[in-house]
Amino acid sequence: MENWITVMSANKLTEGSISKNKLGNNSFLLIKREDAIYALLNQCPHLGCAMHNGELSGYILKCPCHDWLFDIRTGQFITAPEIKIPTFPVKVEAGEIMVNMGGEN
């Protein structure tokens, strides 16, 4: 389902930063890495910890609660890829970051 929502200006998201955002009941992250932007649900699938306080190293985001490691490109848990954080399609149009909350990757 196409449900593109403008979230923020693209020039406000800096390289390597984690931006916490909220649309309705959905809290999600925007992360910029090497000029690509990734959107992930702001919740670890383990115990629901908020991921915005996690530590980013390359493309790996570490859960602040139990040190679980997730690939921001796919949302997959490094140790068990069948466990994942939901990710969402992202595009930039007219300098604005848009996320498709209805189109989980």
Q: What pTM was computed for the model?
A: 0.91
Task: Return d(Cα 41, Cα 43) in angstroms, integer.
Answer: 6
Kindly report the CATH number that applies to the domain delimited by 4-100: 2.102.10.10
Tokens of 58: 């390359």
Q: What is the pLDDT of residue 26?
A: 84
Domain range summary for the chain, segments of one domain joined by +: 4-100
Question: Is the confidence at residue 101, as pLDDT, over 90?
Answer: no
Helix (H, G, I), strand (E, B) or coil at 16: coil
Q: How confident is the model at residue 65 (pLDDT cuts 50, 70, 90)?
A: very high
Return the ∠ at Cα 36 (arms to 93 and 14), rounded to 5°. 85
